[in-house]
Amino acid sequence: MTKISLTVDGVAYTDDVEPRTLLVHYLREQLGKVGTVVGCDTSNCGACTVDLGGQSVKSCTVLAVQADGGEVTTIEGIEHDGVLDPMQQAFHENHALQCGYCTPGMIMACRDLLKNNPKPSEDEIREGIEGNLCRCTGYQNIVRAVQAVAGASS
């Protein structure tokens, strides 16, 4: 076991973890942060995407020990005082989710995309989130949601 200390959604935690424990499993099973989900074993689907130190990561490709000392933001930490994050709001407004399973990772990836490229073209959006799979929406309304946030922030 290895001791790690990190902040998740604004709360400080110190825990013992097995060195092999993936960040996503730490989040779900030790912290109860079950808003972040697992969709594959191969880092293809992106359902587990979270923000680690200002950068979006697939939390299934990060060991919990690698997040030691870091700051993690999950889907559960971006609504503040009852006000949705603009990307959450845009997903709702644009019907950018159906079953909702990919949604936590997708929203985190879309926020990261706009942080790096505030005014993306449609092609840039599609390429920017291609690491996150959605089986329900055909992506069109997800693209619209991102465009809506990008347009609103101009």
Partner 1 sequence: MTAVEDRPVTAEIGQSRKRKEDYHLITGRTTWTDNMNLPGMVHLAILRSPMAHAKITSINTDEAKGRPGVIAVYIGQDFAETQGNLPCAFAPEGLVNPGAPSLAVGQVNHVGEAVAVVVARTKVEAQDALEGVEVEYEQLPAVLNMEEAIKDGADLVHPNTESNRSYTWAFESGAAGSGEPIEDALSNAEVTVKRRFIQQRLIPAFMEPRSTVVQPIGEGVTMWSATQIPHVLRTLLAATLGIAEQKVRVVAPDVGGGFGGKIVVTPEEVITTLVARKLNKPVKYTESRSESLMSAHHGRDQIQDITITAKKDGTVTGLDVHLLADMGAYLRLFGPSVPVLGAFMFNSIYKFAAYRFVCEGIFTNKTATDAYRGAGRPEATFAIERIMDELANELGMDPMDLRRKNWIKHEEFPFTTVAGLTYDTGNYEAATDKALALIGWDELRREQAERRERKDPIQLGLGISTFTEMCGLAPSRILGSLAFGAGGWEHASIRMLATGKVEVVTGSSAHGQGHETAFAQIVADKLGVAWEDIELIHGDTQSSPKGLDTYGSRSLAVGGIAIVKAAEKVVAKAQKIAAHLLEADEDDLEFEGGSFKVKGSPGSTIAMGEIAFATFLGHNLPDGVEPSLDSDATYDPENFSFPHGTHLCAMEVDTDTGFTKIRKYVCVDDIGTPINPLIIEGQVHGGLAQGIAQAMFEEAVYDEAGNLTTGTFVDYTLPSSSDLPSFTTARTETASTTNPLGVKGVGEAGTIASTPAVVNAVVDALRPYGVDDVQMPMTPERVWRAIHGSEKSERAGAGTTAYGGASTTTSDGEGGAL
Contacts to partner 1 by CB under 8 A: 18, 28-29, 33-42, 44-45, 47, 74-76, 79, 84, 88, 91-93, 95, 97-104, 107, 122-123, 125-127, 129-143
| Pick 69 or 100: Cβ nearer partner 1 | 100
* In the complex, minimum distance from the CB of residue 110 to partner 1, in angstroms, rounded to a whole number: 10
Q: What angle do CA 123, 126, 128 make, to 5 degrees?
A: 105
* In the complex, minimum distance from the CB of residue 130 to partner 1, in angstroms, rounded to a whole number: 4
| Pick 69 or 121: Cβ nearer partner 1 | 121
Q: What angle do CA 56, 60, 65 make, to 5 degrees?
A: 90
Q: How far apart are CA 94 and CA 8, in angstroms?
A: 29
Q: What is the DSSP letter of 133?
A: -
* In the complex, minimum distance from the CB of residue 119 to partner 1, in angstroms, rounded to a whole number: 18
Q: Which residues contact 70 (CB under 8 A, 6 or more apart)?
A: 6, 7, 52, 53
| Block residue for tokens 């971006």 | 78
* In the complex, minimum distance from the CB of residue 153 to partner 1, in angstroms, rounded to a whole number: 18
Q: What is the DSSP letter of 62?
A: S
| Pick 71 or 101: Cβ nearer partner 1 | 101
